[in-house]
C-alpha cells in the first residue's frame, strides 16, 4: 500500500513538473510576441522555446512553417513521431507548428505525446495566428506600428507638419473605434398591459437595472425606454418620434399582442419588433405564430431576470453592425447556436455580461487615456 502511495505521489510530482514546463513555454512565447519584432524574427525565437516544454526535451526538435519559410531548432530532423497543428491567418495563408521526437517512446495519448502537449501546441498555434493577424490587419488598414522608429525628420520640416505626423501616428488606431458600432439602440418602445408592466418592474426593478447595467459596464449610450399599454397609445408614440426597437409583452392575453404586432409592422415594417413571453409555457404558441408568418422578428422568454432586456438590445445592435465591424475593425465573432428561446434567453444575458466585463478589465489593464478607454468600450 505504501509503495502504491509513493508511486502515486511521484507521478503527481512528475505531472505537476510537466504542466509547469508547458506554462513556462506559454509565458516565454507571450514575452516574445510582446517584443513585436518582425514575423520572421518572432517565429525563429519561438521555435527555440518549444523543445523544453515537451516530456523529453533532449530528444525533441521543432519546426514552424509560414509563407514558404521554415524555422527550425538546431539538429532538426523529421521522424515518424510527430505532433502537428496547423493555423490559418486572415489572408488565408497556412502555417504549422511541428514537434518531433528523435527516438521512440512509449505510446500514450497521441503516439508518444500526452493530451496536454496536444493542447499546448494548439494554444501556441492560436497565439501565433493572433500575432500575425494583428500585423496583417494593421497593414490592410494602413495603421502605422508604434514600435517602428520614426522616420528621419528632414531639415525645414515645420512644427505644423511635425504635429500632423504625431496625430496621424498616435490617433490612427483610435479612429477605427469611431467607425465601429454605428447603430445604437437609443429609443425603445415597450408595449405591455398594466399587469405585465407591473410584474416586470416589481420582480426585476426594471428601470433600476437597465440604468445600473449600463453604468456598471461603463457604457455611454444608454437607451431610453418608453412604456405604453395599448395599440392606440403605441401608434401615437410611433407617429410622434422614431424608435429603434419595439418590445411587445405576451402575457395571459395572447390575441391582442399578435394583433398589435401586425398593425405596427404594417405601418412600420423597418422597426425591429421583439416578442417577450411571460413564461416558458408560451414558447409553443410563439413558435406556431412564427411558423405562420406572424410579424415579429424574434422572441425571448421572461424569467424574472431583467438582464434579458440588455441582451435583446445588444443582440439587435450586433446583428446590424456585424458586417461593418468585421470589415472595418476585423472584430471577432462569438456564434451561439441555440434554437430554444428559454435557453438563449438565459445564455445571452450571461454571455454579454461576461464579454463586457472582460473587455472592461482588459481596457483597465492598458495604460492609456480615458477617451481611448471609452471608445473601446463603446465599440
pLDDT digits (tens, 9 = 90+) for 235-251: 999 999 889 999 998 87
For the chain, the average pLDDT equals 78
Domain membership flag for residue 146: no
pLDDT higher than 50, residue 255: yes
Strand, coil or helix: what is 181?
Answer: coil
169, 162 Cβ separation under 8 angstroms: no
Is the model's pLDDT at 218 over the cut of 70? no
Integer Cα distance of 368 and 378 in angstroms: 16
- In which band, very low, low, confident or very high, does the pLDDT at 42 lie, cut at 50, 70 and 90? very high
> Could you tell me if 134 and 233 lie in one domain?
no
Distance CA 178, CA 155 (A): 35
Listed in sequence order, the DSSP H helices in 76-219 are: 115-140, 159-179, 194-204, 206-216
C-alpha pair distances (Å), 103 with each of 49, 61, 351: 20, 11, 46
211 and 355 share a domain? yes
Cell of 332: 471577432
Overall average pLDDT of the 45-69 stretch:
92
d(CA 80, CA 351): 43
Judge whether 243 and 237 are in contact, CB under 8 Å.
Answer: yes
- CA–CA dist 228, 280 (Å, integer): 24
Q: What is the pLDDT of residue 156?
A: 53
State the residue range of the domain holding 44: 2-140
- Confidence label for 339 from pLDDT (cuts 50, 70 and 90): confident
Q: Which of 263, 221, 207, 255 is nearest to 239 (CA)?
A: 263
Confidence of residue 204 (pLDDT cuts 50, 70, 90): very low
**DSSP track, 297-363:** SEEEE--S-THHHHHHHHHHHHHHHHHHHHHHS-----------HHHHHHHHHHHHHHHHHHHHHHH
The 10 Å CB-count burial string (b at 16+, else e) for 44-66 is bbbbebbbebbbeeebbbbbbbb
pLDDT of residue 150: 45
2-34 vs 39-47: helix axis angle to the nearest 10? 160
Q: If you count DSSP H runs as helices and E runs as strands, how many of each does the chain have, helices first?
A: 12, 9
Q: Are residues 128 and 200 part of one domain?
A: no
Indicate whether 192 and 251 sit together in one domain.
yes
Q: Give the integer Cα–Cα distance in Å for 350 and 308.
A: 9
103 part of a folded domain = yes
Residue 312 has pLDDT above 60, yes or no: yes
Residues 316 and 238 in one domain: yes
Residue 157 is assigned to a structural domain of this protein: no
Please check whether residues 246 and 320 belong to one and the same domain.
yes
The lowest-confidence range among 25-29, 79-83, 156-160, 370-374 is: 370-374
* pTM of the predicted model as reported, rounded to 2 decimal places: 0.54
CA–CA separation, 131 and 90 (whole Å): 11
Question: Which residues have C-beta within 8 Å of that of residue 354, sequence separation ≥ 6?
Answer: none
Higher-scoring residue by pLDDT: 199, 79: 79
Within 10 A of 278 (CB to CB), how many other CB atoms are there?
19
Inform me whether the pLDDT recorded for 108 exceeds 50. Answer: yes
Domain shared by 110 and 206, yes or no: no
Residue 337 CB contacts under 8 Å (≥ 6 apart), including other chains: none
Do 118 and 214 belong to one domain?
Answer: no
Looking at the structure, do residues 89 and 217 belong to the same domain, yes or no? no
Which grid coordinates are listed for 372? Answer: 481611448
- Alpha-carbon distance 63 to 68, whole Å? 12
| Residue 253 maps to a domain | yes
How far from each other are the two terminal CA atoms of the chain, in whole angstroms?
Answer: 60
Predicted confidence at residue 367, as pLDDT, reads: 46
Cell of 354: 461576461
pLDDT at 92: 87
CATH number at residue 22: 3.30.450
Residue 119 pLDDT level (bands cut at 50, 70, 90): confident
54 falls within a domain: yes
Low-confidence winner among 135-149, 200-214, 280-294 (lowest mean pLDDT): 200-214
Task: Judge if 204 and 122 occupy the same domain.
Answer: no
357: pLDDT strictly greater than 80 = no
pLDDT band at 166 (very low <50, low <70, confident <90, very high): low
Amino acid at each position: 500500500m505504501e509503495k502504491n502511495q509513493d508511486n502515486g505521489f511521484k507521478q503527481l510530482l512528475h505531472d505537476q513538473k510537466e504542466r509547469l514546463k508547458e506554462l513556462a513555454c506559454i509565458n516565454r512565447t507571450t514575452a516574445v510576441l510582446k517584443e513585436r519584432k518582425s514575423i520572421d524574427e518572432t517565429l525563429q525565437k519561438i521555435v527555440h522555446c518549444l523543445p523544453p516544454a515537451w516530456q523529453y526535451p533532449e530528444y525533441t526538435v521543432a519546426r514552424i512553417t509560414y509563407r514558404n519559410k521554415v524555422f527550425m531548432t538546431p539538429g532538426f530532423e523529421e521522424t515518424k513521431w510527430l505532433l502537428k497543428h496547423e493555423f490559418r491567418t486572415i489572408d488565408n495563408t497556412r502555417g504549422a507548428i511541428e514537434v518531433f521526437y528523435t527516438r521512440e517512446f512509449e505510446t500514450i495519448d497521441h503516439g508518444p505525446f500526452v493530451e496536454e502537449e496536444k493542447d499546448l501546441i494548439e494554444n501556441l498555434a492560436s497565439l501565433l495566428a493572433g500575432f500575425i493577424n494583428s500585423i496583417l490587419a494593421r497593414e490592410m488598414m494602413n495603421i502605422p506600428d508604434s514600435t517602428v522608429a520614426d522616420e528621419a525628420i528632414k531639415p525645414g520640416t515645420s512644427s505644423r507638419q511635425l504635429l500632423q505626423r504625431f496625430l496621424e501616428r498616435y490617433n490612427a488606431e483610435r479612429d477605427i473605434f469611431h467607425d465601429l458600432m454605428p447603430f445604437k439602440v437609443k429609443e425603445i418602445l415597450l408595449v405591455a398591459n398594466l399587469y405585465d408592466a407591473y410584474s416586470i418592474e416589481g420582480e426585476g426593478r426594471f428601470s433600476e437595472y437597465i440604468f445600473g447595467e449600463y453604468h456598471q459596464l461603463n457604457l455611454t449610450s444608454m437607451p431610453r425606454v418608453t412604456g405604453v399599454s395599448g395599440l392606440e397609445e403605441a401608434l401615437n408614440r410611433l407617429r410622434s418620434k422614431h424608435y429603434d426597437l419595439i418590445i411587445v409583452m405576451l402575457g395571459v392575453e395572447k390575441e391582442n399582442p399578435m394583433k398589435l404586432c401586425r398593425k405596427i409592422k404594417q405601418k412600420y415594417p423597418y422597426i425591429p419588433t421583439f416578442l417577450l413571453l411571460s413564461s416558458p409555457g408560451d414558447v409553443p404558441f410563439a413558435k406556431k405564430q412564427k411558423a405562420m408568418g406572424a410579424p415579429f422578428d424574434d422572441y425571448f422568454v421572461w424569467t424574472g431576470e431583467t438582464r434579458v432586456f440588455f441582451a435583446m438590445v445588444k443582440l439587435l445592435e450586433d446583428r446590424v453592425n456585424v458586417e461593418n465591424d468585421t470589415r472595418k475593425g476585423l472584430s471577432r465573432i462569438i456564434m451561439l447556436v441555440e434554437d430554444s428561446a428559454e435557453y438563449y434567453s438565459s445564455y445571452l444575458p450571461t454571455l454579454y455580461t461576461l464579454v463586457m466585463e472582460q473587455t472592461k478589465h482588459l481596457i483597465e489593464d492598458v495604460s492609456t487615456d480615458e477617451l481611448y478607454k471609452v471608445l473601446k468600450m463603446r465599440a
